[in-house]
Amino acid sequence: MKYKYSTVLLKLSGEALKSENEIYSKEKLEEIAKQIVELANNGLKLGIVIGGGNIWRGKLGADINMPQIDADFMGILATVMNGLALESTIKRLGYDKVNVYSSLQIETVTDDYNFKKARLKMKEGYISIFVGGTGFAYFTTDTNSVIRAIEIGADAVLMAKNGVKGVYDSDPNLNPNAKFYKKLTHRKIADKQLRVMDLTAATLAKDAKLPIEVFDMQGPNNIIKVMEGSLESTIIEE
Ligand SMILES: Nc1ncnc2c1ncn2[C@@H]1O[C@H](COP(=O)(O)OP(=O)(O)O)[C@@H](O)[C@H]1O
Ligand SMILES: O=c1ccn([C@@H]2O[C@H](COP(=O)(O)OP(=O)(O)O)[C@@H](O)[C@H]2O)c(=O)[nH]1
């Protein structure tokens, strides 16, 4: 199958993995992993950044009087758990060439990372799962997605949303008349404060001239469809 891209960085939020009451849905993990395996088997070079929002976000720290920096590191650890859950599901589906690279060195369960090694392994068909975010508090995995995309030489960041098909001029869940954008510049994201990623990530992507494609991953094979170019989405580029 011909895909639009040859190397991508796929950003998944933690929300994508959860069920109604559990931090993990077996069905959702399998649905995501199945598509990732098909894409990798068809030659797409895949880097994946996974968030931690199904388990913990730093902003929750305030609820328990926890300093932001401590709360953020809990969120960083949540991303490690999610990366291991995804790795295990991908391997259970029979695809063994997976590396989990963590910004926090956790030798027992993650691989040590340098971008040159990751690029070589990806040329051999290895999927790179990046966990631990940037490894710094006060950031989010959106920023880490842009950083890792630059490092692996990705053609684009594929930003998966849950139930929203792309970027609008306002929150479509609050404003039924929100206008959908098929195309946008990075600058417009910042200028119009469109909440689709944090401004640090948008600015970094603009400076690196890195395209971002925002799509809704909820839907049968939507991750495959967006790579084939057959899914309506928002493309952000200069
Ligand atoms: N301009 C916008 N375009 C699209 N979605 C927006 C916008 N502003 C706010 N939203 C809201 O942001 C939500 C996605 O939030 P986000 O934290 O990025 O989700 P995810 O956890 O999927 O990454 C959407 O469900 C939507 O309700
Ligand atoms: O570089 C990073 C990435 C993540 N986080 C923390 O980890 C949490 C989970 O990451 P994120 O919110 O990006 O996950 P997602 O919303 O994509 O599930 C964030 O709220 C932050 O508290 C962080 O401190 N630094």
Residue 51, pLDDT above cutoff 90:
yes
Q: Is residue 1 part of a domain?
A: no
SS3 assignment, position 180: strand
Q: What is the pLDDT of residue 191?
A: 86
Q: What is the pLDDT of residue 1?
A: 66
Q: Is residue 102 part of a domain?
A: yes
Residue 143, pLDDT above cutoff 90:
yes
Residue 200's CATH number: 3.40.1160.10
Q: How far is the CA of 2 from the centre of ligand 2 (A)?
A: 33
Q: What is the pTM of this model?
A: 0.97
- Cβ–ligand 2 contact at 51 (below 6 Å): yes
Q: Is residue 101 part of a domain?
A: yes
Q: Is 144 exposed, middle or buried (0-12, 13-18, 19+ CB in 10 A)?
A: buried
Residue 193, pLDDT above cutoff 90:
no
Percent of the chain with pLDDT over 90: 93
Q: Is residue 2 part of a domain?
A: no
The candidate with the shortest Cα–Cα distance to 130, out of 51, 23, 204, is 51
Q: Is residue 132 part of a domain?
A: yes
| Domain count for the chain | 1
Given ligand 2 and candidates 72, 145, 200, which is best to mutate, with the most ligand atoms within 8 Å of its CB? 72
- Cβ–ligand 2 contact at 53 (below 6 Å): yes
- Weakest-pLDDT range from 34-38, 161-165, 188-192: 188-192
Quote the ipTM score. Answer: 0.95
* Domain range enclosing 94: 7-236
Residue 71, pLDDT above cutoff 70:
yes
Mean pLDDT over all residues of the chain? 96
The candidate with the shortest Cα–Cα distance to 160, out of 9, 12, 7, 4, is 12
